[in-house]
Structure 1
Amino acid sequence: IGLSAHTIEEAQSAEARGADYLGVGTVFPTGTKTNIKGIIGSEGLKQICSSVAIPCVAIGGINESNAAALKNSGAKGMAVISALLTSVDPQSTAKTLREIVQLFK
């Protein structure tokens, strides 16, 4: 079961409550959600990922042009919404994002 985390404190609390993984963000500005708690950036993502032992998945504003910036963040993957929904070629976008996420390993 995954939980969302926007801060180190939230991440550590979620881990202590038994979360199996974390959705961490909002990493970059996004048009999908309007009630975001703030933009953490790739450095904030890295800090949160390093504060817990469970896997973290980056979320928020991730697209083909910024996904590679997450490579050394400690995230095990990324969740993408807008980049696919707004793409003129979602299949190609998904393929590119999949190739980028392979760099995380």
Structure 2
Amino acid sequence: MLTTVLKDPTCFKFPTEFNPQNFLNEKGKFMKNDAFMPLAAGKRICLGESLVKMELFLFLVAILQNFDLKSPVPREELDLNPNVSGVANFPKPYTLAFIPR
């Protein structure tokens, strides 16, 4: 099951929570983690994986080029843990301000 791989404590420092440090090395640089497979693997892999990755990159770059992002909630008060159900994890709703540059 894919969720089992994504929550493996031998592959992730913080397997049960969303934490960017799962993808950073000791120096704070991005580190590719082969255990991270959001689009599946093997014969069930998503056929549009490369297209999805390119589109996401372009979408995020366009947002970051044109807007400053700010949370109305202080960083200390943010809860980044997802709502967990028996089937999947669902992100909680967040408010984010997009301020034109």
Identify whether the pair has TM-score above 0.5, normalized to the shorter chain. no
Larger gyration radius, structure 1 or structure 2: 2
Q: Normalising by structure 1, report the TM-score.
A: 0.29
With the length of structure 2 as denominator, give the TM-score of the two structures.
0.30
